[in-house]
Copies of this chain bind each other. A is one copy, B any other.
Amino acid sequence: MTIKEIAALAGTSRGTVDRVLNGRGNVNSELADRIISIATQNNYQPNQHAQALIKSRKHMTIGVVINSLGNEFFDDVLRGIHDRAQKYLSSGFSIIVKEIKGYDGNEQISAIDMVLEHDVDALAIMPLDLPEVREKLKSLKIPIVMFNTDIQMDKLAFVGCDYYNSGGLSGDIAKLIMGSRGGKIGIVIGSFMMQGHKLRISGFTDSVNTNENMNIVACVENADDDSRSYEVTKELISEHHPDLIYFGAAGVKGGVEAVLDSNENIQIITVDETTPTREYLDKGVISATVTQQPYIQGVLTIKILYNYLSSKKPPRERYNYTENQVKLRNSK
Segment from A29-37, A50-58, A126-134 that makes contact with B: A50-58
- For A90, the chain B residues whose CB sits under 8 A away are 45-49
Closest Cβ of chain B to A170, distance in Å, is 9
Q: Chain A, 163-207, contact with B by CB distance < 8 Å: what is the 0/1 string?
A: 001001101110011010000000000000000000000010001
- For A165, the chain B residues whose CB sits under 8 A away are 330, 332
Cα A172 to Cα B326 with chains together (Å): 11
Are A328's CB and B172's CB within 8 A?
Answer: yes
Does A325 lie at the interface of the complex (its beta carbon under 8 Å from any beta carbon of B)?
Answer: yes
- For A327, the chain B residues whose CB sits under 8 A away are 326
The interface centre, meaning the residue of A56, A90, A288 with most chain B CB atoms within 10 A of its CB, is A90
The interface centre, meaning the residue of A173, A207, A326, A330 with most chain B CB atoms within 10 A of its CB, is A330
Closest Cβ of chain B to A211, distance in Å, is 10
Within A312-332, the residues touching B (CB, 8 Å) are 323-332
Cα A50 to Cα B90 with chains together (Å): 10
Does A287 lie at the interface of the complex (its beta carbon under 8 Å from any beta carbon of B)?
Answer: yes
Are B169's CB and A330's CB within 8 A?
Answer: yes
Are B332's CB and A324's CB within 8 A?
Answer: yes
Closest Cβ of chain B to A48, distance in Å, is 6
Are A331's CB and B287's CB within 8 A?
Answer: no
Are B330's CB and A172's CB within 8 A?
Answer: yes
Are A47's CB and B330's CB within 8 A?
Answer: no
Specify the chain B residue showing the minimal Cβ separation from A164: B330
Does A91 lie at the interface of the complex (its beta carbon under 8 Å from any beta carbon of B)?
Answer: yes
- For A46, the chain B residues whose CB sits under 8 A away are 90
Cα A177 to Cα B169 with chains together (Å): 15
Does A151 lie at the interface of the complex (its beta carbon under 8 Å from any beta carbon of B)?
Answer: no
Does A69 lie at the interface of the complex (its beta carbon under 8 Å from any beta carbon of B)?
Answer: no
Does A89 lie at the interface of the complex (its beta carbon under 8 Å from any beta carbon of B)?
Answer: yes
Closest Cβ of chain B to A264, distance in Å, is 14
Cα A327 to Cα B325 with chains together (Å): 8
Closest Cβ of chain B to A5, distance in Å, is 13
Closest Cβ of chain B to A287, distance in Å, is 6
Cα A332 to Cα B328 with chains together (Å): 17
Are B45's CB and A49's CB within 8 A?
Answer: no
Jot down 13 A-B pairs with beta carbons below 8 A, ordered by A.
A45-B90, A46-B90, A47-B53, A47-B91, A49-B49, A49-B52, A49-B91, A52-B52, A162-B332, A168-B330, A172-B329, A176-B287, A326-B331
